[in-house]
Chain A
Amino acid sequence: MELKKIGLFVGILLAFFTGFASGHEAPAADATKAEKQMYVDGVKKHHLHDDHYFTIMHGVSIPLPVIIFDGGVKFFMSTGFVEDEHGHVIAESGGEYYTISHDNGMIYKCDEHGHIHRDEEGKLEGRVLDFSITKNVVIILLMSVFLFFFFKKMAERYGQSAVPQKSASFFEPIIVFIRDDIAIPNIGKNYEKYMGYLLTVFFFVWFLNLAGLTPFGVSVTNNIAVTASLAILTFLITSFTANKHYWGHIFWMPGVPKPMRVVLAPIELLGIFIKPFSLMIRLFANMTAGHIVIMSIIGLMYTVDKGGFAIAAGPSALLTFVLSLLELLVAALQAYIFTMLSALYFGSANEEPHHH
């Protein structure tokens, strides 16, 4: 059993290094430093950005559907994007040409040569509303399906035995921890209606963070759209379940002189938006930073000169290993912090007026 676990761990580590190069041709040994740097930067971007292909390993990619709104819905598989002789990735649909920007991986309108129109300041123009089922959407969907069946199965075992069985013996303490140490102390007696959200958000973020540590480039929680969605849900739940006392505290602060109330109202109002915004940025920045640091250290091996590779490889691998362990902690920590702060905001929305 123990041996099996170690084997799995080593396998994942190995896959990390091999996976790093997936989808990219490593630069030749005699490539210039700038070329090598470009390669590493490309890998970083590739791993942090969304994709229209679901790449399992090098050479094995599943094309995903592209759905864009540009004067009507346009639907085609991502195989529609074809690279021309100049290296531009162009798709043609309904007489319009589209390309994927190298800057952010988003789909832009372009001319038939793959050139995106830029404004006077050099900013890209013609971005289309992209509702494609991208790699990240697929990962979120797969993870959600997994989470649902995993925890449903676990819940079903509760009907069979009073004692926690199998996975429940590990996850039940975590669920009870979220209830007793996050929800109840922060929210109080109304905690039960928030448990569904808090538990789901914790396991969703945690599992996706962990998935992001695997070498398959499935990092989702370092995407601003994902963290924004979670933060906005926390904000909406806070706002819609808030009591009179909560709104009273924001617009007409009790216990302070009247002129101060007028001054405080806009600050407090700003606060209710800053809180979820900080949630969004915190998770996004922490996960992105972790990925960039790990990839930079791995990239070190590729950027050093020929002879340096041997010298750089050992420390780099060791450092990557240690940082990966740290990221393992960060994965759980960020999930905890997100859940904890959400509970705190729900708690402030449920606070009963205390007599000053």
Chain B
Amino acid sequence: MEKLWNDFSVGLFFWQTLIFVALVVLLAKYAWKPILTAVKEREAKIKDALEAAENAKLEMAKLKSQNEDMRREALAERDALLKQAKETKDQIVAESKTAAKVEADKIITAAREEIKAEKVAAMLEIKNQVAALSIEIAEKIVKEQLQSDDKQKALVDNLIEDVNLN
């Protein structure tokens, strides 16, 4: 202990303390603070970046599953639409078939009736013509037979006879 005190230089102690305290203050301000701040900032940045990457990964997975869902939905919708379209088509085809059939039947029926009416009209005309012809023919024949007075007299007699009989 005495040896220690014997070797102890107060001057050196003083200068060492003075220089060292100054060094601590200067280094803390101009070196350690900026370095530690930079290191801390970098660490925070790395941490943030890692977290952001992790979040992005999760987001990606979420988006992927969302996309998958959307795709599946779209597919289902497409199928439904196609099915519906097919149904509509079938329905339309069936409906038009029925409609066409009804129309055709209507036309056919109308045609038949027309034909019938025409036929009746034609028969009537034929009948009239036949009657007119028959009268003409009969007139001609009568005219021929009644050209002489004898024949007229015979006819009258004949007719009177008929009447008497009645």
Contact A229 B20 (CB under 8 A): yes
Contact B31 A233 (CB under 8 A): no
Contact A159 B34 (CB under 8 A): yes
Q: Which of B11, B20, B25, B42 has the most CB of A within 10 A?
A: B11
Q: Does B137 contact A (CB under 8 A)?
A: no
Q: Does A83 contact B (CB under 8 A)?
A: no
Contact B23 A200 (CB under 8 A): yes
Interface-facing stretch out of B2-10, B102-110, B148-156, B158-166 = B2-10
Q: Does A348 contact B (CB under 8 A)?
A: no
Give residues of chain A (104-142) contacting chain B, Cβ–Cβ below 8 Å.
104, 106, 129-134, 136-137, 140-141
Q: Does A297 contact B (CB under 8 A)?
A: no
Q: What does DSSP make chain B's interface, helix, strand, loop or mixed?
A: helix
Contact A155 B21 (CB under 8 A): no
Q: Does B36 contact A (CB under 8 A)?
A: yes
Contact A179 B16 (CB under 8 A): no
Contact B19 A140 (CB under 8 A): yes
**How far apart are B44's CB and chain A's nearest CB, in angstroms?**
12
Cross-chain contact of B11 among A130, A228, A232 (Cβ < 8 A): A130
- Would A158 and B34 be within 8 Å (CB), given that A148-B26, A175-B39, A225-B9 are in contact? yes
Q: Mark B23-49, 1 if CB is under 8 A from A, else 0.
A: 111111011111110110010010000
Contact B12 A50 (CB under 8 A): yes
Residues of B in contact with A (beta carbons under 8 Å apart): 4, 6-17, 19-28, 30-36, 38-39, 42, 45
11 A-B contacts, Cβ less than 8 Å apart?
A130-B9, A175-B32, A175-B35, A175-B39, A195-B28, A223-B12, A225-B8, A226-B12, A226-B13, A228-B13, A230-B16
Residues on the A chain within 8 Å of B33, using CB: 196
**How far apart are B112's CB and chain A's nearest CB, in angstroms?**
100
Contact B11 A152 (CB under 8 A): no
Residues on the B chain within 8 Å of A192, using CB: 36
Q: Taking CB as reference atom, which chain B residue is nearest A232?
A: B17
Q: Does A224 contact B (CB under 8 A)?
A: yes
**How far apart are B135's CB and chain A's nearest CB, in angstroms?**
132
**Closest 4 CB pairs between A and B?**
A196-B28, A151-B31, A158-B38, A225-B13
Residues on the A chain within 8 Å of B9, using CB: 50, 106, 130, 134, 223, 225
Residues on the A chain within 8 Å of B20, using CB: 140, 144, 200, 204, 229-230, 233
Q: Does A154 contact B (CB under 8 A)?
A: yes
Number of interface residues of A (CB under 8 A): 49
- Would A175 and B36 be within 8 Å (CB), given that A200-B28, A233-B17 are in contact? yes
Residues on the A chain within 8 Å of B35, using CB: 151, 154-155, 158, 168, 172, 175
**How far apart are B37's CB and chain A's nearest CB, in angstroms?**
8
Contact B21 A103 (CB under 8 A): no
Residues on the B chain within 8 Å of A200, using CB: 20, 23-24, 27-28, 32
A110 to B31, CA, bound (A): 47
Residues on the B chain within 8 Å of A148, using CB: 23, 26-27, 30-31
Give residues of chain A (183-223) contacting chain B, Cβ–Cβ below 8 Å.
192, 195-197, 199-201, 204, 223
How many inter-chain residue pairs (CB < 8 Å) link A and B?
Answer: 134
Contact B27 A196 (CB under 8 A): yes
Residues on the B chain within 8 Å of A154, using CB: 31, 35
Contact B24 A229 (CB under 8 A): no
Residues on the B chain within 8 Å of A103, using CB: 6
**How far apart are A113's CB and chain B's nearest CB, in angstroms?**
23
Q: Taking CB as reference atom, which chain A residue is nearest B6?
A: A104
Q: Does A1 contact B (CB under 8 A)?
A: no
Contact A129 B34 (CB under 8 A): no
Contact A147 B23 (CB under 8 A): yes
Q: Which of B9, B19, B22, B25 has the most CB of A within 10 A?
A: B9
Besides A130-B9, A137-B15, A224-B7, 7 other CB < 8 A contacts? A133-B15, A137-B12, A140-B16, A162-B45, A168-B35, A200-B28, A226-B13
**How far apart are A241's CB and chain B's nearest CB, in angstroms?**
14
Contact B27 A151 (CB under 8 A): yes
**How far apart are A133's CB and chain B's nearest CB, in angstroms?**
7
**How far apart are A228's CB and chain B's nearest CB, in angstroms?**
6
Q: Does A176 contact B (CB under 8 A)?
A: yes
Contact A130 B10 (CB under 8 A): yes
Q: Taking CB as reference atom, which chain A residue is nearest B26?
A: A148
Cross-chain contact of B16 among A129, A158, A172, A226 (Cβ < 8 A): A226
Q: Taking CB as reference atom, which chain A residue is nearest B23?
A: A144
Q: Does A332 contact B (CB under 8 A)?
A: no
Contact A152 B30 (CB under 8 A): yes
Cross-chain contact of B8 among A67, A196, A201, A228 (Cβ < 8 A): A228
**How far apart are B118's CB and chain A's nearest CB, in angstroms?**
107
